[in-house]
Amino acid sequence: MVTIKDVAARAEVSIATVSRVLNDYPHIKPALREKVLKAIAELGYKPNKLASSFRTQQSRIVGVFLRQQKTPFSSALAYAIEAAMFDQGYRVLLCSTNGDPDREEAYVKSMIEMRAEGVIIRPTGSAARTTRNVMALREAGVAVVFADMKPRIASMSGVICDNFSGGYEGMRHLLGLGHRQIGIVAGRAAQAVSAGHDNVGSERVRGLMQAVRDRGPDAELTFSGPFEEASLAVGIEETNRLLERNPAITAIFATTDMLAIGAMQAAHRRGMAVPQDLSILGYDGVMESAITFPALSTVGQPIHEMGTIAAQVLLSHIRSRDASAQHIVLENTLVLRDSTAAPKS
């Protein structure tokens, strides 16, 4: 392996001079710079960026902790963050926590060991463990910003969407169309609205339930089983169960677009026309929601904007450790397409 010492010997200069050239220091004579660069090219020397970061305290590395990268929502959020950070000269390491606090803690230790300059976290379901992990990062000098969901830590910056109002507006739309028998496809955590849970899904469910109290007290909600992970297959399975339990259902409100697309597939397989026999409303506004048949009505989140702003806030904390915490709440948009309509009756 070629080392910086080999380059210095070939160029007949000191190691310090080679280091200054590599780090683009000013006030180096052009001829001397050219001599070092020529030696680097001839030897094929590749600088060890990580080792350099230990000396300069600037790794130009940031971590992004997501629950999982395989969902359309997470992919879109990660892309927005990565694009914004890359434009500013940073490299992003994507870490899937799978909602596991132990996995999150392992990634925290890795970020500290690699001298990461910042981390954007979509926290796990354990607020206490996430708080402890965040404190460890901050003590190590790593800037931290929350995205999509934020534990109740006043001193920490976070960029989230207003999930309560999103749930409210989505249900208001269905009630306004005249639906009164409505199925809700929501996971275990989302249905834990009275247990002090503070997560994206439960906020959506709280919002839709408030809309029923305000605008449709005669409506009847039928909830799906308390599943753990939202997916297309789960959407199909839970929709079938809902319709078997309550055949009178005329609309389905799913707490993610992938669940809603699964609901649409279940309806098609049962010979039901969407939206004539069954209206279906999703949540997230991922790209896939626009290419279903019929196109899915959904509560759209500004996912790209959320990721871009989270990156900008993180950069402000990296550049100034004294930067004030920012609490940014973005609004959702009701995207009306072809999967919702008034019930036949």
Could you give the CA distance from residue 96 to residue 297 in angstroms, rounded to a whole number? 29
pLDDT of residue 70: 79
The topology (CATH level 3) of 4-47 is: 434 Repressor (Amino-terminal Domain) (1.10.260)
pLDDT tens digit string along 180-238? 999 999 999 899 886 555 689 999 999 999 999 999 999 999 999 999 889 999 999 99
Q: Are 4-47 and 59-161+303-331 in the same CATH fold?
A: no
Which pLDDT does position 72 carry in this prediction? 92
With cut-offs at 50, 70 and 90, classify the pLDDT of residue 49. Answer: low
The DSSP bridge partners found for residue 159 are 147, 328
Interatomic CA distance for residues 338 and 132, integer angstroms = 45
Asked whether the predicted pLDDT for residue 246 surpasses 80, the reply is: yes
pTM here is: 0.82
Q: What residues contact residue 148 under an 8 Å CB cut-off, 6+ apart?
A: 77, 122, 159, 160, 161, 200, 306
What superfamily in CATH does domain 59-161+303-331 come from?
Response regulator (3.40.50.2300)
d(C-alpha 186, C-alpha 198), whole Å: 15
- Phi and psi, residue 250, nearest 5°: -115, -10
Q: Crossing angle, helix 4-11 and helix 30-43, to 10 degrees?
A: 120
pLDDT tens for each residue of 311-345: 999 999 999 988 999 999 999 999 999 999 999 97
Q: Which two tokens stand for residue 54?
A: 């230990």
Provide the pLDDT for residue 172: 98
Write the DSSP string, 281-296. Answer: EEEE--GGGGSSSSPP
Pick the CATH number of 163-301 from 3.40.1350.10, 3.30.465.10, 3.90.550.10, 3.40.50.2300: 3.40.50.2300
- Residue 55: pLDDT band (50, 70, 90) is very low
Lowest mean per-residue pLDDT among 104-118, 120-134, 318-332: 120-134
Is residue 83 within 8 A of residue 75, CB to CB? The reply is no
Provide the residue ranges of all domains of the chain, joining segments of one domain with +.
4-47, 59-161+303-331, 163-301
- Per the document, the length of the chain is 345
Mean pLDDT of the chain: 91
